[in-house]
Amino acid sequence: MTEPSPHNGHAFAVIGAGINGTAVAREITRRFPDSSVTVFEKSDRVAAHQSGHNSGVVHAGLYYEPGSLKARLCRRGVDLLHDYARSHQLPFEECGKLVVALNQEEEVRLRGIFERAVANGVPDVELIGPDRIREIEPNSVGRLALHSPHTAITDYAAIAHSFAEEVEAAGGTIRLNSEVVDMSVEPHGCTITSVRGAGGRSPGGRSARARGNHTRRVESFDFVIACAGLQSDRVAQMAGGAAHPTIVPFFGQYSQLAPEHRTILNGLVYPVPDPAYPFLGVHLTKRVDGEMLVGPNAFLSFGRENYSGRTIGIKDSLAVAADPAFWKFAAGNLKAAVREFSAVVSRKKFLAGAAEYVPSLEGAASKPIPRGIRAQAMDADGGLVDDFVIEQQGRATLIRNAPSPGATSSMAIAEHIVDVVAQSH
């Protein structure tokens, strides 16, 4: 039986129908069944952006600072996601993961990751030598590896769609093709201005509002929760938030290996992260449909939603170029950027990195697949924000940074946000 709540009977708006937005909306319907929930999504479908452009890895919580929001919500999120996927017959495979050290310097860093994983409560992790590496992954090599047997893979778009279906079944509304263009936060609620047009954004990136095919609506809500991903900084500023952290989009290009390599691994093989660069490096990822991916590289995206790479988002690119914080970041990461760019222009070099861990991939055939774009928050000093950032502006709650493991943590993020809203008002 649901306990009475002071928020029952209120009107909630959620901005964004990715996995975090739909998870939050679902949590609201469960926690406050007498309240109304409206989800605004500017695209023409659920999970159109980061939630539908990723490798599907369910992270176990190996890398994150113990006690951080990432560490706590990732571990809670894994358990919730596992139970949800199993109970709803959605893909969820505990294929396991190796983080592999190739030299002595990497071994030292790997032992530090192991200590973090243990502190975070990751179950059954262990450090293993070359023989055990071969036993778990016969085609992989390395001096030392961290084995995480419960790291899993799933289909985040399918999970987001399932969340959305539950929201609608509970009486909530998912408004596709509805772009939030303004917001006013007042003492007792929020006013949202949205533009509704057919098809959301065109391939060229123009919104329905810009094309003139739109209907403008102004509505009031008691609470607004923004889960806007790649647009999170802009939505936050509508609500009165600061300019920073700002979103700098980094694209990740994956290559899909030829069919003869689909079974080359039993699970996932990752390198030891380089502390000089803020991403995990090129790794091998098994997907729930059986395909084997290599990637991603990580490089500045010329457009927040430029998944094809064939166009340039002028507004987004100019915004990055005009931000002094980006140039501070670039100056400190020039060497890594040159390395990543070489992998962008040469798929052969890109795949050679993976062959260091799985030698039989030398010269393997592959094809690129649609890229993902990471919504990475950057502070005013040019530092990449590591932890999740959730900001409160009166009756508006704003996710300002939720990169990986944001999808893994989605159900726990939803619990956390609804707790914050319930306790603060």
On the CB side of 147, how many CA atoms lie within 13 Å of its CA?
Answer: 21
Class of residue 318 by CB neighbours under 10 A (exposed 0-12, middle 13-18, buried 19+) = exposed
How far apart are alpha carbons 29 and 325 in whole angstroms?
A: 39
Fold of 11-51+158-245+386-424: FAD/NAD(P)-binding domain (3.50.50)
Residue pLDDT, tens place only, 98-145: 999 999 999 999 999 999 999 999 999 999 999 999 999 999 999 999
Q: Which two tokens stand for residue 185?
A: 């936060």
pLDDT score at 231: 95
Overall size of the chain counted in residues: 425
What's the pTM value of the predicted model, to 2 decimals? 0.90
Q: Which H or E element spans position 416?
A: helix 410-424
For residue 7, name the pLDDT band (cuts at 50, 70, 90): low
Residue showing tokens 């952290």 = 245
Q: How many other C-beta atoms can be found within 10 angstroms of the C-beta atom of residue 238? A: 24
| CATH 3.40.50, applies to 247-384 | no
User: 51 to each of 131, 144, 291, how far by Cα in Å?
Assistant: 37, 33, 18
Is residue 198 pLDDT above 60, yes or no?
no
For the chain, give every domain's residue range.
11-51+158-245+386-424, 97-149, 247-384
- Let me know: does 420 contact 393? Beta carbons within 8 Å: no
Residue 204 has pLDDT above 50, yes or no: no
> pLDDT, tens digit, for every residue of 74-110?
999 999 999 999 999 999 999 999 999 999 999 999 9
Contact 382, 327 (CB under 8 A): yes
pLDDT of residue 202: 33
pLDDT of residue 281: 72
Q: How confident is the model at residue 209 (pLDDT cuts 50, 70, 90)?
A: very low
Would you list the DSSP string of 125-145?
A: -EEE-HHHHHHH-TT---SEE
User: Averaged over 313-342, what is the pLDDT?
Assistant: 68
Question: Are the C-beta atoms of 29 and 173 separated by less than 8 Å?
Answer: no
Average pLDDT value for residue range 200-212 = 41
